[in-house]
A and B are shown apart, each in its own frame.
Chain A
Amino acid sequence: GAGVSQSPRYKVAKRGQDVALRCDPISGHVSLFWYQQALGQGPEFLTYFQNEAQLDKSGLPSDRFFAERPEGSVSTLKIQRTQQEDSAVYLCASSLGGALHQETQYFGPGTRLLVL
């Protein structure tokens, strides 16, 4: 079956532009996570959804970052007024059950964002 997909795969934005990154999780997966990976680093947690509920947004670096999953499937990560330090790969992951199930997270290919 299809894995996690993300679009666009690459995005170049001018400083100050707004961007929207999309994640299509594996069908039927309850949990969805967003991570940010800077060059040469491991991914860092941004936010977590269980169905449509955003249960944890403690990793969002500023109020310019906003995520939603209105129908409990597709999710969008929006970054307003992008800054150069936002340049990174944004990874989406999904897992079948809720957080207490301790299940494997399946990652998408990521969106590589470059802010000029």
Chain B
Amino acid sequence: SQQGEEDPQALSIQEGENATMNCSYKTSINNLQWYRQNSGRGLVHLILIRSNEREKHSGRLRVTLDTSKKSSSLLITASRAADTASYFCATDPLNQGGKLIFGQGTELSVKP
């Protein structure tokens, strides 16, 4: 069964706007990772945040992690049409051997 839950399930915005996606999980983790998946393609790794980190940046991406609330958010600033994709959070739970537990994803549509 999947551990993560993502919110919203779908998000539609205009180019240039910011997009925020949220992820909640249930058990203690080593780290949390965000992936992007274009339709019919494989998963592309975006960012990894460890359990002792609270915020991380990579280009237009900002990820936060609140282990007390067991939640994370992904912010994409100044969105572009090319950002249209599904976004998944994946947790690496403690003592689970490194396997990732994925949420159901947020489908982001950025309109030009």
Q: Does B60 contact A (CB under 8 A)?
A: no
Q: Contact check, A42 vs B103: say whether CB atoms are below 8 A apart.
A: yes
CA distance in complex: A12, B30 (Å): 38
In the complex, the answer to whether A42 meets B45 with C-beta atoms within 8 Å is: no
| Residue interface mask B28-39, A partner, CB < 8 A = 1 | 001101010000
B112 contacts which chain A residues (CB < 8 A)? Answer: none
Rounded to whole Å, the gap between the CB of A56 and the closest CB of chain B is 5
**Residues of chain B within 8 A of A48, CB atoms compared:** 97-99
Q: Is the CB of B100 within 8 A of A104?
A: no
B25: interface (CB < 8 Å): no
B58: shortest Cβ distance to chain A, in Å?
12
Count CB-based A-B contacts (< 8 Å): 70
Partner of A109, one of B41, B88, B101: B41
Chain B: interface size category: 20 to 34
Report how far A79 CA is from B99 CA in the complex, Å. Answer: 21
CB distance from A67 to the nearest CB of B (A): 13
Q: Give bound CA distance, A107 to B41, whole Å.
A: 10
Q: B50's contact among A45, A93, A99, A102, by CB below 8 Å, is which?
A: A102
Determine if A104 and B48 form an interchain contact, defined as CB atoms under 8 angstroms apart.
yes
Closest-CB distance, A48 to chain B (whole angstroms): 6
Digitize A15-48: 1 where CB-to-B-CB distance is under 8 Å, 0 elsewhere. 0000000000000000101010000111111001
Taking the nearest CB of chain A, how far is it from the CB of B44, in angstroms? 8
Give every chain B residue within 8 A of A56 (Cβ-Cβ): 97, 99
Closest-by-CB residue of B relative to A41 is B104
Question: When each residue 76-116 of chain A gets 1 if its CB lies under 8 Å from chain B and 0 otherwise, what string results?
Answer: 00000000000000010101001110101111111010000
Residues of B participating in the A interface, judged by any CB pair closer than 8 Å: 2, 4, 30-31, 33, 35, 40-45, 48, 50, 88, 90, 92, 97-105
Task: Identify the A interface with B (CB < 8 A).
Answer: 4, 31, 33, 35, 40-45, 48, 55-56, 59, 91, 93, 95, 98-100, 102, 104-110, 112
Q: 6 pairs across A/B with beta carbons < 8 Å?
A: A4-B42, A33-B99, A33-B100, A43-B90, A105-B45, A106-B45
